[in-house]
RNA sequence: GGCGGCAUAGCCAAGUGGUAAGGCAGCGGUCUGCAAAACCGCGAUUCCUCGGUUCAAAUCCGAGUGCCGCCUCCA
């Protein structure tokens, strides 16, 4: 079945046909490094990470570029408030960004280009735009003329038209622009501690040029998917598209599919500075397994809004653990030697196959992770069912079937970035577990309970079942 | 004011014409040294409301209501 993806540009689900067969190139708008990133940002990173992993799981060669905006108003503002240089602020939070991504279990992009390292390329693009008549210089600033892009259909990505935008536009007092809709490609230096020489004098690049330049440089033109948060559709991506179109000739020569993820709310409210309700991913990870965060963020379709509430998060904790523990239980069963007799468990084998089909068709339909996760649960419950069934005999054949089912669950989970495999216990936990096993054999339950408490403190859960003791990481 | 989206059980959430996936929570039971987990059983005669199209609609059309996003920095 064909892989379909919702394209913001056409407002339709389209078949994903890569520019280069077998390869998929993705450009995701990365962070502006002026602060730690919050769970809302994390949603974007994790959604893209899951899409990337799934595509790779399907056999595509994926190239992901995720930029770092390290020159920007917000960085300059923060630097000046703290008496530091913009460069210092950017470097600090770039380091935190990579640290937090790793903790979140998000794989690093293939390239992480920085705006400040592509000033020359941006200037070249601006020169081209001026040469083609799409941009004009005004006292050291350079602006893009939206009016000139009208013929090319400016507004088509965000589905707005110029007249409406003009009607709603704010009048800026210090405006040098010919039209309020025009946007800055190059901003004249105002002694903010960060500037470069240019044909138009000292200054720094404007908002939307970097992605234009860096996507082309690292992915080649055209490339497949241009992604980002829904709020970037306008004006960022609209303006970026206008520039690319003006410079390269047409939309088709830039990005083929535009993908935007919905926002994450906090208890029904938009995350914002004024409400002081931003949850930093870094803080949450202090108390929460990163897998739970991923599970929660993938539990809704990526384009739907999602609400972070205590209840919803608790639900994710329980659900995610259920998947993990299933594999621990399967591993425990597989720990025992095979026995003779019994008949093959045909149901499990069949269900494993059906589950993969359900998973793939969910993901192929515009990366429906919510539905794909449901398929994981179906598989998990079949595994548990089999182990528990009275007539299930762990003969050599069923051992293989169970192994396959468990491997399948791990593999499909992995395609979304979940690490469901049983984690190895620390030496200390292993020793405590062995001790507890002994205590239980001689029915010294007092000692057994104490050992369970000790394991709990170390972050392990000890469960007793018919098959024996199970100890696994919380 | 303009543009766009959404409305499915207590909560989350799939489902775009064929008779309501899945998860969490809850209740009853089995199991258990305990605990937890697990397993079995139980939930929407119905998908915001009202009309319409159709043999058939949560799914299509129209009207209404409510919520949200964007139009300004924002993932």
Strand partners, A469: A464
Using the CA of A183, give the nucleotide whose C1' is nearest. B72
Name the phi and psi angles at A224, rounded to 5: -85, -65
A371 CA to B46 C1' in angstroms comes to 22
A236: alpha, beta or left? (left if phi > 0; alpha if psi -120 to 50):
alpha
Question: A78 near A273, Cβ under 8 Å?
Answer: no
Query: Cα–Cα distance between A170 and A177 in angstroms, integer?
Result: 13
Whether the CB-CB separation of A247 and A279 falls below 8 Å is answered with no
The CA–C1' separation of A269 and B29, in angstroms, is: 42
Q: How far is the CA of A301 from the C1' of B6 (A)?
A: 13
Q: Which nucleotide is nearest to A366 (CA to C1')?
A: B14
Show Cβ contacts of residue A8 under 8 Å, excluding neighbours closer than 6 positions.
A157, A233, A237, A258, A259, A260
Cα–chain-centroid distance for residue A256? 20
pLDDT tens profile A279-295: 999 999 998 889 999 99
The separation, in Å, between residue A413 CA and nucleotide B52 C1' comes to 45
Helix (H) or strand (E) holding A171: none
Distance CA A322 to C1' B25 in A: 15
Residue nearest to nucleotide B37 (CA to C1'): A463
Give A440: exposed, middle or buried? Use CB within 10 Å, 0-12, 13-18, 19+.
middle
> How far is Cα A293 from Cα A302, in angstroms, rounded to an integer?
14
Task: Report, as ranges of residue numbers, the positions in chain A whose pLDDT lies below 70.
Answer: 1, 167-175, 273-274, 345, 389-392, 466-467
Strands, E assignment, A267-408: 269-270, 306-308
pLDDT of the residue at A252: 79
Burial class (CB in 10 A: 0-12, 13-18, 19+), A346: exposed
* Whole-Å CA distances, A79 to A74, A84, A272: 9, 5, 20
Of A350, A468, A345, nearest to A400 (Cα)? A345
> Which pLDDT belongs to residue A332?
80
Give the 3-state secondary structure of residue A419.
coil
Residue A198 CA to B40 C1' — how many Å? 74
- Closest nucleotide to A261's CA, by C1' atom? B75
CA to C1' distance (Å), from A420 to B33: 31
> Count of CB atoms within 10 A of residue A289's CB?
17
From the alpha carbon of A161, which nucleotide's C1' atom is closest? Answer: B3
What is the separation, in whole angstroms, between the first and last Cα of chain A?
Answer: 38
In A132-188, where does DSSP find H-type helix?
162-168
ipTM: 0.91
Residue A113 has phi, psi (to 5 degrees) of -70, 145
User: Residue A173: its pLDDT value, please?
Assistant: 45
Q: How far, in Å, are A343, A366, A381, A390, A407 from residue A401 at the CA level?
A: 12, 31, 15, 17, 10
- Looking across all nucleic acid strands, the nucleotide with the smallest C1' to CA distance from residue A271 is B74
Alpha-carbon torsion A48, A54, A55, A57, what sign? positive
Q: What pTM value is reported for the model? A: 0.94
CA of residue A71 to C1' of nucleotide B73, angstroms: 14
A14 within 8 A of A364, measured Cβ to Cβ: no
Enumerate the nucleotides of strand B whose atoms come under 7 Å of any protein CB: 1-5, 11-15, 21-25, 31-40, 68-75
Question: To which residue do tokens 């992901």 refer?
Answer: A64
Secondary structure element (H or E) that encloses residue A398, with its range:
helix A396-415
Paired strand residues for A86: none
Instruction: Work out the number of other CB atoms within 10 angstroms of the CB of residue A20.
Output: 13
User: How many Å apart are CA A335 and CA A43, to the nearest integer?
Assistant: 37
Q: How would you class A149 by CB atoms within 10 Å of its CB: exposed for 0-12, middle for 13-18, buried for 19 or more?
A: buried
In this complex, the residue with its CA at the shortest distance from the C1' of nucleotide B3 is: A160
Chain position carrying tokens 């100890």: A471
Which residues are registered as beta bridge partners of A464? A469
pLDDT digits (tens, 9 = 90+) for A165-179: 776 555 554 567 888
Nucleotide nearest to A382 (CA to C1'): B39
Distance from C-alpha of A306 to C-alpha of A167, rounded to nearest angstrom: 32
Distance between the alpha carbon (CA) of A24 and the C1' atom of B71, Å: 33
Cβ-contact A302, A47 below 8 angstroms? yes
**A213 CA vs B63 C1’ separation (Å):** 48
A164: which nucleotide lies closest, measuring CA to C1'?
B2
Q: Using the CA of A47, give the nucleotide whose C1' is nearest.
A: B75
């Amino acid at each position: 079945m064909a892989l379909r993806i919702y394209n913001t540009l056409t407002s339709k689900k389209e078949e994903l046909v890569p520019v280069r067969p077998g390869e998929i190139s993705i450009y995701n708008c990365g962070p502006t490094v002026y602060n730690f990133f919050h769970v809302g940002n994390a949603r974007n990173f994790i959604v893209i990470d899951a899409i990337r992993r799934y595509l790779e799981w399907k056999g595509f060669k994926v190239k992901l570029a995720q930029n770092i905006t390290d020159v920007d108003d917000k960085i300059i503002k923060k630097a000046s408030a703290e008496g530091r240089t913009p460069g210092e602020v950017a470097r600090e939070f770039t380091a935190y960004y990579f640290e937090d991504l790793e903790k979140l279990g998000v794989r690093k992009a293939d390239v992480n280009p920085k705006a400040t390292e592509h000033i020359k390329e941006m200037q070249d693009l601006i020169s081209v735009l001026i040469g083609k008549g799409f941009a004009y210089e005004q006292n050291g600033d350079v602006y893009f003329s939206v009016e000139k892009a009208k013929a090319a259909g400016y507004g088509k990505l965000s589905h707005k038209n110029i007249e409406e935008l003009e009607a709603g536009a704010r009048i800026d007092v210090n405006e040098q622009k010919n039209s309020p809709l025009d946007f800055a490609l190059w901003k004249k230096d105002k002694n903010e501690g960060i500037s470069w020489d240019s044909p138009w004098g000292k200054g720094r690049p404007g908002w939307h040029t970097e992605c234009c330049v860096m996507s082309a440089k690292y992915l080649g033109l055209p490339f497949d998917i241009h992604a980002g948060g829904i709020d970037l559709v306008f004006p960022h991506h609209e303006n970026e598209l206008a520039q690319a179109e003006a410079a390269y000739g047409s939309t088709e020569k830039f990005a083929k599919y535009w993908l935007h993820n919905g926002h994450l709310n906090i208890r029904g409210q938009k995350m914002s500075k004024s409400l002081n309700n931003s949850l930093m991913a870094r803080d949450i990870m202090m108390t929460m397994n990163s897998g739970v965060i991923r599970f929660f963020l993938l539990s809704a379709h990526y384009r739907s809004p999602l609400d972070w509430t205590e209840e919803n998060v608790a639900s994710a904790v329980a659900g995610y653990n259920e998947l993990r523990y299933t594999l621990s239980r399967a591993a425990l069963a597989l720990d025992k030697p095979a026995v003779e007799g019994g008949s093959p468990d045909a149901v499990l084998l069949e269900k494993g196959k059906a589950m993969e089909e359900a998973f793939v068709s969910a993901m192929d339909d515009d990366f429906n992770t919510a539905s794909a996760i449901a398929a994981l649960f179906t598989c998990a419950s079949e595994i548990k069912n089999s182990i528990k069934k009275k007539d299930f005999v762990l003969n050599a054949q069923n051992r293989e079937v169970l192994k396959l089912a468990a491997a399948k669950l791990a593999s499909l989970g992995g395609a979304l970035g979940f690490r469901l495999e049983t984690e190895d216990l620390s030496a200390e936990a292993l020793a405590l577990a062995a001790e507890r096993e002994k205590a239980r054999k001689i029915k010294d339950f007092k000692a057994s309970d104490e050992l369970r408490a000790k394991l709990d403190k170390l972050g392990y859960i000890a469960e007793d079942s018919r098959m024996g003791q199970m100890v696994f990481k919380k």
